[in-house]
Structure formats: structure tokens, C-alpha cells
Amino acid sequence: MTRLDAPDWLTAPATQAVLDALETAGGAGCVRVVGGAVRNALMGRPVDDVDLATRLHPEAVMAALQAAGLKAVPTGLAHGTVTAVSGGRGFEVTTLRRDVATDGRHAEVAFTDDWAEDAARRDFRLNALYADREGRVFDPTGEGVADALAGRVVFVGEPARRIEEDYLRILRFFRFSGWYGRGAPDPVGVAACAAGRDGLARLSAERVSKELLKLLAAPEPRAVVAAMVETGVLAMVLPDAEAGPRFTRLVDLSPDALLRLAALLPEDPATAGVVAARLRLSNAQRDRLTAAADRTVPVGPGLAPAALRAALYRLGRETVRDRLTLAEASGVKAPETLWAVVETWPIPRLPVGGADLARLGVPPGPTTGEILRAFEAGWIADDFPTDGHEARLRQLIEAAR
């Protein structure tokens, strides 16, 4: 039997306290670590979250945690999930389940005490792995350990059935292939995703965008994105995408998922806005995506230093950085001296305001705004001088009269 070599996350007092609480109530072996923690430990990857599976029903889990003095949060009782808080960390504890009915988006579940039934409803074999507190790994599908060690992402059982249970598994297949797979994605899984791609239209935009951005953040998403193009999956979730050389180069330049998304889209802020709305991105994500595609204020590797500083002032450091990175992905590399300005130039604030004009005898009103806008335009054009502001204001006041 495969055994984990006493990993810190398993032997940690916080983890052991939760295991102790549940085994006190349900007996030895009633709880195991499940899924990502086991998979990542086998693959030598960092473990962030420790999820647990148990034969205990949710109410019994709540009672056991509370009896042990641990906080229990009923995060999803209908689906058997309770969050245990121990040592300041959250541990998701889920009762073993089997699917009773599914509609491609949600599942109706029944609780079970059979580890194999629980494994059979999971998405991929490398996620259907369990480990007890001694580190012994249990592999109900018989292939999960081998898949993890080989970097294979393979559906549990019949791929078409797993997809019909939840069409989000199509995107999860490509996302996990990008993060954990080696080489081309599993061809049987790819074929099943192609056959079931129309079901993606039934998913909420929020679920799709969350999975898509996780996929694009993978260390190496190019092979899976190419497979998504070939299967028509990408066109279902991102019909405006152009997975060409710019995206291919951008992956080497930045791990940022939103910037990689920008590299998949045409350089058109209107299209970027439509995509952001379709994916229900946050306002901040929408603004960044559209700004990266906007060319109203030119930004490129050939900018003179003063023009670059003007762009930094008007657009902000993030937008200028994004545009230069996208330009480099298009094959035009910016010199290091230009990048140095982008990263280190302290973007100034407008050095004058309405109070300065009031002090010079200009009453509040439309004229104040006009003078300040004129001052700002001249101040930017002169490359942000640090003195002479009052004299410039007096000139503009006199001209306004």
C-alpha cells in the first residue's frame, strides 16, 4: 500500500485535533483526508487545503466537533459539508455520498458509509484518493495513485456520465490537465468533452468564469487551450477568442490569468467589455480587461520617455504594464530602459487644486474646472515640472478673463 511520509499538514496539531474529534465519535477509520491534499502530496506539490471525508452524518460531525471544543460551521449541510475550524484553519468535512439525481448543474445526494461509492461520484481518478491519519493511501478506483504519479487526468468511470452529472467537469478536465497533466490531455476525456460541450450553455456565468480563470492561471495552459479550440469547447465559453501566437508568447511572459485572457481576445475594448459582461467578471476585472485593449492613449515599446510618463499618469502603472506585455507578446519587445521607467517612476499627483485657485481670487464654479484641466494638460505636456505652478495658474486665470 502507498503511504505518505508523515507530511507536516497531516501531523499538524490542528489536523490531528479534527481527526481525534471525529474518531472519538465514529471510531477509528471513520475519517480520511480526501482529494487534493493526497494528490498533491503524491506529486510533490504544495498542500494548501486539507479536506476530509467521513462516514459520520453532518449532524454527528457538528456534535463531535463541538464536543471537542472546536468550531463547527454548517457550510453545506444539504450536501453533507461542515467546516471545522482548528488552530485558526478551516477543514472542510464532507459525509461520504452517492448521487441520487443530477441535472448537469446540481446533484441530489444520499449519504453512504461506502468509500467506493463516494469515490465513484468524483470527477477524476487522481482526485478520488483518501489517506488515513497514518498516511496510508486508499485508491478505490485502482488507478488514482498511478495517475497522480504519471501526471494523467482521467475521468472516474465513464467520462460521458461524469460530464452529464455536471457539465462544469468539462472545464475542470482542461483545468486539471493544465495544472497536473504531463503532455497532451487524455484523448478519451477530450473526446467526451467535445461530445458534451453544448451542456456548457446550461452553466452559470460565475461558475464558468471562475473555472476559466483558474485554467488560464495554470503553469502551462497552452496544450489544453489548443485542445479546447479543437473540440469547440473554447468557442462555447469564449466565442471571441483568438488562440494565436500572441497567447502562446504571453504565457511565457506572465502567469496572470486575466492578462492571458486579454491575449486571447482581439485588441478592441468593446469586445473586452462584452466578454467581461458575459463572464460576469468583477468591475475591477472588467476595467482592467477593457483598459488593456484600449488604444485611445497610445502605449508601445517605441514611446519617448516623456510620452511614457504621460501614459503612466493618465492610465496608471498596471494598464501601461499590461499593454507593454501584450505588445511584447505580439512580437515587439520594449527596451529595459523603458521598463525601468514603468516600474520605478513615481507617478505624481496634480500639484494644484480648487483651494489654490480660490486663494488667487477664482470663486468656485465651472471656471475652476476649466482652469484646472488646462493646467493639467500643460503640466503633462511639459513633462511634470515641479515648480512654477502659481505663475502658470495666474496666466490661465488671466486668459480666462
Given 91, 117, 150, the domain boundary residue is 150
Q: Are residues 71 and 135 in the same domain?
A: yes
* In a domain? residue 362: yes
Q: Is there a domain that residue 199 lies in?
A: no
Mean pLDDT value across residues 264-291: 96
Is 89 found in the same domain as 32? yes
74 in the same domain as 29: yes
Q: Are 37 and 131 found together in one domain?
A: yes
Q: What pLDDT does 237 receive?
A: 95
Q: What is the pLDDT of residues 305-364, one digit of tens each?
A: 999 999 999 999 999 999 999 999 999 888 999 999 999 999 999 999 999 999 999 889
Averaged pLDDT of the chain: 93
* pLDDT tens-digit map of 177-186: 999 999 889 9
Of 156-160, 300-304, 332-336, the one with minimum mean pLDDT is 300-304
Write down which residue in 133, 150, 167 finishes a domain: 150
CATH of the domain at 54: 3.30.460.10
Whether the pLDDT of residue 111 is over 70: the answer is yes
Cα three-residue angle 301-299-213, rounded to 5 degrees? 100
DSSP state of 201: G
Q: Say how many domains are in the chain.
A: 3
Q: What is the pLDDT of residues 161-182, one digit of tens each?
A: 999 999 999 999 999 999 999 9
End of a domain among 150, 165, 183? 150
- Chain-centre distance for alpha carbon 270: 23
Looking at residue 103, its pLDDT comes to 55
Q: What's the CA gap between 67 and 51, in Å, rounded?
A: 20
User: Within this chain, do residues 313 and 334 fall inside the same structural domain, yes or no?
Assistant: yes
Secondary element (H or E) of residue 177: helix 168-180
pLDDT at 104 over 60: no
How does DSSP assign 330-346, residue by residue? Answer: TT-PPPHHHHHHHHH--
pLDDT at position 201 is 94
305 occurs within a structural domain: yes
Please give the residue range of the domain that contains residue 371: 354-400
196-232 per-position pLDDT tens digit: 999 999 999 999 999 999 999 999 999 999 999 999 9
pLDDT of residue 105 exceeding 70: no
Q: What is the C-alpha separation between 387 and 257, in angstroms, rounded?
A: 42
